[in-house]
Amino acid sequence: MSEGAAKHFDEMTGRGDGVRSPYFAYRSWFEAEDPARLKHKAAEAETFFRRMGITFNVYGEADATERLIPFDVVPRIISGREWARLSRGIEQRVTAINAFLHDIYHRQEILRAGRIPVELIAGNDAFLPQMIGVKPPGGVYTHIVGTDLVRTGENDFYVLEDNARTPSGVSYMLENRETMLHMFPELFSSVAVQPVSTYPRNLRRSLAACAPANRANGTPTIAVLTPGIHNSAYYEHAFLADQMGAELVEGHDLRVVDGRVAMRTTRGYQPLDVIYRRVDDDFLDPLNFNPSSMLGVPGILDVYRAGNITIANAPGTGIADDKAIYSYMPEIVEFYTGEKAILKNVPTWRCSEKDALAHVLDNLDKLVVKEVHGSGGYGMLVGPAASKKEIAAFRKKLKARPGSYIAQPTLSLSTVPILTKSGLAPRHVDLRPFVLVSPNGIKITPGGLTRVALKKGSLVVNSSQGGGTKDTWVLDE
């Protein structure tokens, strides 16, 4: 590669100058291509994304609230064998998460067994007492899960976090593939890549299978509930509603009528069966949660508790992707499945614990520190990349609220090449596969969203922090 041999594990070249087998066919194609054509195609991709309106919003910046998400034309390629192992681990983990959520809102056996501290649940804002004793339709809590994975070696994958509330990014996975198919159709003729285009259809089927049992016969009516056009993921909300053939609604379009959640139409209010909500718990129902919310539906939780609507994902699922709970995931997997976790956790220090806090404070320049409820790369410290001033400021925050943070070692994340002006260059990546859960089983789309840190040496892949995306190929072997 043009920037020298990667000292990290590179998914195209390994730790040397060769080519790993998943990349054989692609590398042969790439070397036969005209570099000028590839650069032209990269510019064409940006134009395509801009024309399609594939943007995301950035909060807190007056100069540019809406941005184009950068897209790199070099795919990330995973072998069928690697994917089979990842799929087993993801399915095991998602199964355990659903079992954990049912248990924590019912008998709380894991607390009785002493496998998780009671105070980690009792004092957690993500735990909703209103969900105690409630069994969701079909017994499913996390209908859609985004499991963030990182890789450090040939066979070393770690789960970075579990997105069990309202995971985003699936629209980029689908549009990335559509863009690559449009620009390089001949490439897909020579490389057998598993499709991702069935995701919207599978999402609709999965949600429909979770409809309340006591609804009227016929096709379930599904809607996507969005906070509105100013939300950072609004493009995705509209995209998925369109692709599924579902209605896109805001809170003011809905009301409770005769014990059902109904949607305003030209023929009056029509009842809904399933709501794929992209509104956070606190804003979902002003009668039961935040009374000032204008985004939700007054009384929707009461309809839900009565079993007359499916909300995907279920209220209260945030307790399962809390970063302090994450540190107990190996125990949670073993408790509910009777098996050791196939996918490893990143070692984690809970700053709420005195000894852990002391270790973290002594090693801030070497660690990654995250807010327990944080997301999007906000509110975190990447010690090795931080200045002395930033570390000193973060130290004060950490001492003031230690229970709000966890810390992890700085992993040697794998790299995948991106196309630069001077050729291929390695950049760090992560991967978010998307999982659908219904009473009919668990379905994992082959691939997912690869996020890439476009700055040389950066470990932060979030689009809100300057990262981009890639098409993710799982080979059909």
Q: Which residues, 6 or more positions from 171, have their beta carbon under 8 angstroms from its beta carbon?
A: 54, 235, 236, 239, 240
Query: If DSSP codes are grouped into helix, strand and coil, which group holds residue 217?
Result: coil
* Secondary structure E strands in 211-348: 222-225, 247-249, 254-257, 260-265, 268-271, 274-277, 310-312, 344-345
pLDDT digits (tens, 9 = 90+) for 399-430: 999 988 999 998 889 999 999 988 899 999 99
Say whether pLDDT at 300 is over 90: yes
pLDDT at position 463, please? 66
pLDDT mean over 154-167: 93
pLDDT digits (tens, 9 = 90+) for 272-284: 999 999 999 999 9
pLDDT at position 67, please? 66
Backbone angles phi, psi at 319, to 5 degrees: -65, -25
pLDDT at position 49, please? 80
CATH 3.30.1490.270: which residues of the chain?
Answer: 347-409
Confidence of residue 110 (pLDDT cuts 50, 70, 90): very high
Give dist(CA 350, CA 327) in Å, integer: 8
pLDDT at position 65, please? 53
pLDDT at position 377, please? 56
Backbone angles phi, psi at 374, to 5 degrees: -75, 160
Say whether pLDDT at 239 is over 80: yes
Q: Please say whether the beta carbons of 202 and 445 come within 8 A.
A: yes
Count of beta carbons in the 10 Å neighbourhood of residue 64: 8
Q: Which residues, 6 or more positions from 264, have their beta carbon under 8 angstroms from its beta carbon?
A: 253, 254, 255
pLDDT digits (tens, 9 = 90+) for 59-83: 444 444 566 788 999 999 999 999 9
Fold type of domain 347-409: Dna Ligase; domain 1 (3.30.1490)
**Cis link prior to 313 (omega < 30° from 0)?**
yes
